Amino acid sequence: MKINPLTDIKNADSSNFFLMAGPCAIEGETMALQIAEKIVAITDKLNIPYIFKGSYRKANRSRLDSFTGIGDEKALKILNKVGQTFGIPTVTDIHESGEASIAAEYVDVLQIPAFLCRQTNLLVAAAETGKVINIKKGQFLSASSMSFAVDKVKESGNDQVILTDRGNTFGYQDLIVDYRNIPEMQSFGVPVVMDCTHSLQQPNQTSGVTGGKPQLIETISKAAIAVGADGLFIETHPDPATAKSDGANMLNLDLLEDLLAKLVRIREATL
């Protein structure tokens, strides 16, 4: 039976981080269940609290002909089935205020995309659902600026907030991770997550398809755990080359267990 994700995190062994992981987009029921089953087995083995991630719709696309989803209701029902089948919390991103109450019927955590983290109406609508709210830090913002996003949710009557860093943009077509952001955002009294895959994106390529550097996922995640991140966000897929969205920066699912085992050892060594 599922419980509140933040309660699960707080009750977990203090030596462990928590994990948000899954495909970039929900491509189908079979795929989602297979990915969840494998990650549940890994995280149970390593005693890592786990939240399944999948976007029911991709609203931020470079090109008009990019994949956006299999249909909102269909994808949301799949997310709900994943949660019910494995007894795990689920998270998906929302893009407009009207989506908050709809998505909240199916998932446990509502995620605010980085480009939308300043949208007051969206944050308030998400807060009013009573769900846990994961706010991704805008690539264009400092860590200190995210205190206002946290305040908007809390002042709307919801103190269940997570912040996720996904790098900063300092130029064209690349992102840089500033690990000072993790302790600075933790000072707001909320768990802080490092997005280890989107922080390696190379957006706005001339092809209109976002690139990435997945070979550095281990580097980003190791550094985040060493710094003291409360959780990690990792998009993963059995075959990233055929993924319908963000395949260029996703982790191959077969590499996840070895990576997480290394990260658990790093966390234990830093306590």
H-helix or E-strand containing 35?
A: helix 29-46
Query: What are 41-97's pLDDT values in tens digits?
Result: 999 999 999 999 999 987 765 555 566 678 899 999 999 999 999 999 999 999 999
Is pLDDT of 211 > 80? no
The closest of 171, 231, 228, 167 to 201, measured between CA atoms, is 167
Where does the pLDDT of residue 227 fall: very low under 50, low under 70, confident under 90, or very high at 90 and above?
Answer: very high
C-alpha 256/C-alpha 247 separation (Å) is 15
Average pLDDT value for the chain:
90
Query: What are 113-149's pLDDT values in tens digits?
Result: 999 999 999 999 999 999 999 999 999 999 999 999 9
Where does the pLDDT of residue 206 fall: very low under 50, low under 70, confident under 90, or very high at 90 and above?
Answer: very low
Domain boundaries, the chain: 5-270
Where does the pLDDT of residue 8 fall: very low under 50, low under 70, confident under 90, or very high at 90 and above?
Answer: low
Where does the pLDDT of residue 174 fall: very low under 50, low under 70, confident under 90, or very high at 90 and above?
Answer: confident
Is pLDDT of 13 > 60? no
Let me know if domain 5-270 sits in CATH 3.20.20.70: yes
Q: Which of 8-12, 121-125, 154-158 is predicted with the least confidence, judged by mean pLDDT?
A: 8-12
Is pLDDT of 208 > 60? no
Is pLDDT of 24 > 70? yes
Q: Which range has the top average pLDDT, 67-71, 166-170, 243-247?
A: 166-170
Answer whether 226's CB lies under 8 Å from 212's CB.
no
The closest of 235, 260, 239 to 52, measured between CA atoms, is 235
Answer whether 49's CB lies under 8 Å from 18's CB.
yes
Q: What is the pLDDT of residue 21?
A: 98
